[in-house]
Every structure is written in C-alpha cells, then in structure tokens.
C-alpha cells in the first residue's frame, strides 16, 4: 500500500449487520460484519483468555499490523493459496460491543476478508489427518511463494464442508524470506 493509512483516511465499511465476534486470537478479534465478510481488528492483548478485559486498538500500530497481514493475504490469494479472499483495510464502526468502547472511540481499522463458513481444523475429529494434510499442502504453496510460515498450525485452518476446502488464515507472524535479516 503506497499511501500512509490513518483511521481518518480509511474508507468506512458499509456494515450490513451489527458486528458479531466469531473468533479471537492473541493479537486480534474477528467479527462477522456482513453475510459474506469478516473483519480482523487488533486488540491490546490484555488477559483476553481470562477475563475479557480487552480493548480493540485504533492506533497507528494496529493499522500497521493489519496492513502487513492484508498484504500477505493478498499475495497468497493471488498466488493460488487457499485463503479467504482479502477485500482491503477499512474503518469498522463498532456499536454495541461492551469490551471495545470505553474512551478509545468506536471506529477501528479492520482487515476485511471473505467469510468462510466452516470449522477450525483442530476442532474436527472426522477425517482430521486428511484435513491437516490439505492444510500442510497449502502452507507448502505459501513457502514456495517465499513466505516464512512462523505460526502455521492447524489452529489457523478452516475446513469448509460446503466448499470442501481447507483455508489457511492468520498471517500476522509471517514474513517474506527476502524481508528477514
């Protein structure tokens, strides 16, 4: 992305529903924001597993994190790796989420991507070995494109039974080989 993004110059995503949390990780939450899209929004990592005392971030570093992830997802998608289609970086208006408002505002930078109906691979017992094998094949494609796949793990894969595919996601720790010193 050429231009320095700020929350003020991000295009607002036209929400079709109140954002609903559908996933959480060590660095971000994922919210369903329409029938076909989710948004990944960074949080401040404070004890998110224990007591939900977590705040979404709308600072410059949050934008940098999601731009990094978007750019990797875009390159993977364009390179034929099975990832949710990346749509872009948008300003997401969070209305009623109880743990994200406080004094930090209600608009947050979000990496918007295709919503993939399915289940996290490690949560499915049936045909587990086959799905992990498919996941590993997708990770191998990413490595062939020149990516270091730091935290590639079945927890970052979705099996979509309606599409009969495994999608990989969560590229926050990934990097291009040539970008690593």
> In the sheet that 107-114 helps form, which strands lie side by side, from edge to edge?
20-24, 28-32, 37-42, 107-114, 86-93
DSSP assignments along 107-170, one per residue: EEEEEEEE---SEEGGG--TTHHHHHHHHHHHHHHHHHTTEE-TT--GGGEEEETTTTEEEE--
pLDDT of residue 103: 42
42 in a structural domain: yes
pLDDT digits (tens, 9 = 90+) for 67-95: 999 999 999 999 999 999 999 999 998 87
Q: What is the pTM of this model?
A: 0.87
2 in a structural domain: no
Ranges 33-42, 61-70, 115-124, 146-155: which has the least confidence:
146-155
165 in a structural domain: yes
29 in a structural domain: yes
Task: Tally the domains of the chain.
Answer: 1
162 in a structural domain: yes
91 in a structural domain: yes
> What CATH number has the domain bearing residue 29?
1.10.510.10
């Amino acid at each position: 992305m050429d231009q320095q993004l700020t929350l003020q110059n991000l295009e607002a995503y036209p929400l079709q529903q109140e954002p609903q949390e559908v996933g959480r990780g060590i660095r971000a939450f994922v919210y369903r924001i329409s029938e076909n899209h989710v948004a990944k929004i960074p949080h401040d990592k404070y004890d998110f597993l224990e007591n939900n005392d977590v705040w979404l971030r709308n600072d410059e570093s949050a934008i940098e994190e999601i731009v990094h992830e978007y750019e990797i997802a875009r390159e993977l998608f364009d390179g034929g790796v099975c990832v949710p289609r990346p749509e872009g970086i948008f300003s997401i208006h969070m209305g009623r989420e109880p743990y994200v408002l406080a004094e930090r505002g209600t608009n947050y930078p979000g990496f918007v991507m295709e919503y993939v109906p399915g289940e996290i691979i490690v949560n499915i017992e049936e045909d587990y070995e086959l799905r992990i094998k498919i996941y590993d094949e997708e990770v191998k494609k990413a490595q062939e494109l020149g990516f270091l796949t730091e935290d590639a793990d079945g927890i970052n894969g979705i099996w979509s039974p309606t599409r009969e595919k495994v999608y990989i996601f969560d590229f926050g720790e990934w990097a291009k080989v040539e970008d690593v010193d």
